[in-house]
Amino acid sequence: MIEKVFKTDKITLLGYTLLVFTYSLFFGTIFFKQNSSSFTSIIMVLLVLPVAAYFFFLLRKRVIVDQNGIKIIGITGKKEFSWNEISEVAVSPGRKYFLFTTNKSGDVAVIDDSTENFKELLEELKKRLPKEKLSPNYENVLNSYKRSYGSIILIYVASLILLFVLLKSLLGI
């Protein structure tokens, strides 16, 4: 039983690790500098939760391909599609690429290109599924695919800005 496991790529995981760290430090510093548990400071601390939740989702995210089908473990739980119950696989190109897998019941699983070896995943699905189950643009997207880095660069920039503001505040510069 040969299975291939695809997780969140390391550059995305590192970016969100840095963001959660700097976000937590930033809002934690604001909270402690105010020396009170005012409603505003509590709200600021709560702003860390969505970023931290997404980070934990990225840690948990998995796509498993084996001879039986594909399993997608993501933010909404686990979806399993056997090869014969998949009705369509489509790829949406753009600034960020998305892979949509639909089964005969209408259930949809979405995988984005922050998944490591995304192109290898696309190739694996092409090998295992008949051509008529792949969207008409599938081959073109597969051949022209290049990992998008725009959103992850924004994460790194936001983290560095938060770190700069935090250091400036703490050091009084």
Q: What gap in Å lies between CA 41 and CA 48, rounded to an integer?
A: 12
Among 20-24, 35-39, 137-141, whose mean pLDDT is lowest? 35-39
The tens digit of pLDDT for each residue in 85-137 reads: 999 999 988 778 888 988 888 888 888 889 999 999 999 999 999 999 999 99
Q: What gap in Å lies between CA 56 and CA 53, rounded to an integer?
A: 5
Amino acid making up residue 124: E
Handedness of CA 159, 165, 170, 173 (dihedral sign): positive
Q: Which two tokens stand for residue 9?
A: 């790529």
Q: How confident is the model at residue 16 (pLDDT cuts 50, 70, 90)?
A: very high
Residue ranges of domains in the chain, CATH in brackets: 4-171 (2.30.29.30)
Check residue 1 and give its pLDDT.
Answer: 56
Check residue 118 and give its pLDDT.
Answer: 93
Check residue 117 and give its pLDDT.
Answer: 94
The tens digit of pLDDT for each residue in 143-153 reads: 989 888 888 99
For residue 45, how many other CB atoms are within 10 A of its CB?
14
Check residue 36 and give its pLDDT.
Answer: 62
DSSP character for 99? E
Local structure of 83: helix, strand or coil: helix
Check residue 147 and give its pLDDT.
Answer: 86
pLDDT at 35 over 70: no
Range list of H helices, the chain:
10-33, 39-46, 48-60, 118-128, 138-144, 150-171
Share of the chain above pLDDT 70, in %: 96
